[in-house]
Amino acid sequence: MLKTIKSKILLPNILCDFDGVITDSVFPDLGTPIKDNIRKILEYRKLGHKIVIFTTRSWWEQDRINTFCIEQCGFEPDAIICGKPMGILVDDLAVDAINQDLIDGINDKVNRVNDRYDTAKKEGKPLLVKE
């Protein structure tokens, strides 16, 4: 079902890669949490954003990733999406977790989403989302 967004502030999901963002691991190891990134991700969760892990790892590792996040990182992801195609991600809302401060990068993208909402509203083209 689609519904029109009425809220002024949109809270987009924060999609985080597992290897290299959540953990310093290289497949098949799980490694250790990247504490600075975890702290920043948790700040967004406190603001109401949903945290989604998006990884190239297989679905059979979903429970392992969930347990790692709960036990090692202090949070349970809202969703884990496995099977992301391996390659270089080109996206207008991407944040470089290595070379850009996550807080500034995510703030910039949240503002971009809200700007798109404002523009659509002014043009009489409401954004629709699945409920």
Q: How confident is the prediction along the chain (131 residues), in pLDDT tens digits per residue?
A: 444 444 455 678 888 999 888 999 877 889 999 998 899 889 889 888 899 998 989 999 999 999 999 999 999 999 999 988 777 677 666 766 655 566 666 777 777 777 777 777 777 765 554 44
Per-position DSSP letters for 13-54, written without gaps between them: -EEE-TBTTTB---TT----B-HHHHHHHHHHHHTTPPEEEE
3-state helix, strand, coil in the chain (%, to 5): 35, 15, 50
Q: Quote the pLDDT of residue 122.
A: 79
Going by C-alpha positions, the residue among 35, 44, 47 that lies closest to residue 73 is: 35
User: In terms of C-beta density within 10 A (0-12 exposed, 13-18 middle, 19 or more buried), how is residue 68 classed?
Assistant: buried
What pLDDT, on a 0 to 100 scale, did the predictor assign at position 130? 43
Cβ(33)–Cβ(74) below 8 Å: no
What is the tally of structural domains in the chain? 1
| Residue 29 domain boundaries | 2-130
Give the closest residue to 26 by CA, choosing from 17, 35, 36: 17
Tokens 């924060």 sit on residue: 14
The CATH number for 56's domain is 3.40.50.1000
